[in-house]
Amino acid sequence: MLLYSLEETAWMAIAAIMLDWIVGDPRWPTHPVIYIGRFISRLEKWLRRGEAPGSASPRRVRLAGVALTMLTVAAAFSVMLGIVLACRWVHPWLGYAANTWFISTTLAVKGLKDAAMQVYRPLVEGNMPDARKFVGYIVGRDTTRLEEPEIVRATVETVAENTVDAFVSPIVFALLGGAPLAMLYRAANTLDSMVGYKNEKYLYFGWASARFDDVLNYVPARLTGLMIILVSLFGRGLSAARAAKSIAAFASLHPSPNSGIPESAVAGAIGIELGGLNRYGDIVSDRARMGWPLREKTRLDIVLTTRICYGVSYVAAGGLLCAIIAMHG
């Protein structure tokens, strides 16, 4: 369903990207993802009411997880569609403004940079306790004993992976269906971040959410890989050829069908090795290595990775502008 013409949608997507560059995640009004998270939490409690640990059959739990996924994305899409249509009914320009604003709330390029810089600054100051604390805000692994190279690795991996989730995927879905479809994607991604774990609690319940997120990110992840290669052609200290070779050599080794593409591309582009041992409580996971250890990881790799993320957003905005110009022949 197209709420607006392709040209109108492209202009609004460009405006949304620029809003994200300037404003980032809004503190007021409350971010839509917070409401989505609350909805997921309440719906999970309702769907799993009366479920004692280990008592429900895997099939029943998996069906409940499917219901959670379907109800959450349907609610996000429907509410957003209603808001945009209501605003458009009041006045066409109010519809444009609402669509643009809500698309911008599904993007988080500035938010990614801010989170990464929150880790980078303590490293520059030699404040390892704060660096460990702040990197712990953006990764799920145990960060209490990490030294600088591993803090850098965790931050680079997170920014690389989230270039897909926090920018390319929502922009792709916004172009296909405006703010309603972009918010549907954001709801699916929030579901994956809340219940898409392979642990005892969510192995079956989070299965549908994790798989749906994989499907939605499949094409955007591959577009992101191509854009990282393009950015690396012009970025100082980056190698486009190495980024392309790294994707071909390492992306398929990642346990996710999508995350390995941006992570391997960034590793190759900046010339470091990502992956390795991650600790989750008492569990140690050996994540596949990506890229080549051409040099030691340094705090400046965090800066390089955020530049790549911003570069991808510049490529997207520039590509949309060129598409608009081409429409007018």
1 assigned to some structural domain: no
Q: Which positions ≥6 away from 209 have C-beta within 8 Å?
A: 65, 68, 69, 188, 191, 192, 194, 195, 196
At 31-41, the pLDDT tens digits run: 899 999 999 99
Instruction: Report the domain count for the chain.
Output: 1
Q: What is the pTM of this model?
A: 0.95
Identify the pLDDT of residue 50.
74
- Count of alpha carbons within 13 angstroms of residue 119, beta-carbon side: 35
Instruction: Give the pair of three-digit tokens for residue 286.
Output: 């050996």
Give bridge partners of residue 284 from the DSSP assignment: 279
- Residue among 117, 163, 134, 133 nearest 302 (CA): 117
Three-state DSSP state, 52: coil
Residues of the chain short of pLDDT 50, as ranges, are none
Identify the pLDDT of residue 25.
82
110 assigned to some structural domain: yes
Identify the pLDDT of residue 56.
73
99 assigned to some structural domain: yes
At 301-328, the pLDDT tens digits run: 999 999 999 999 999 999 999 999 998 8
The residue range of the domain holding 264 is: 6-327
Asked whether the beta carbons of 247 and 269 are under 8 A apart, the reply is no
Identify the pLDDT of residue 54.
62
Q: Which positions ≥6 away from 221 have C-beta within 8 Å?
A: 164, 168, 169, 257, 258, 259, 261, 262
Q: Report how far residue 190's alpha carbon sits from residue 196's, in angstroms, rounded to the nearest whole number.
A: 9
Q: Report how far residue 314's alpha carbon sits from residue 312's, in angstroms, rounded to the nearest whole number.
A: 5
69 assigned to some structural domain: yes
207 assigned to some structural domain: yes
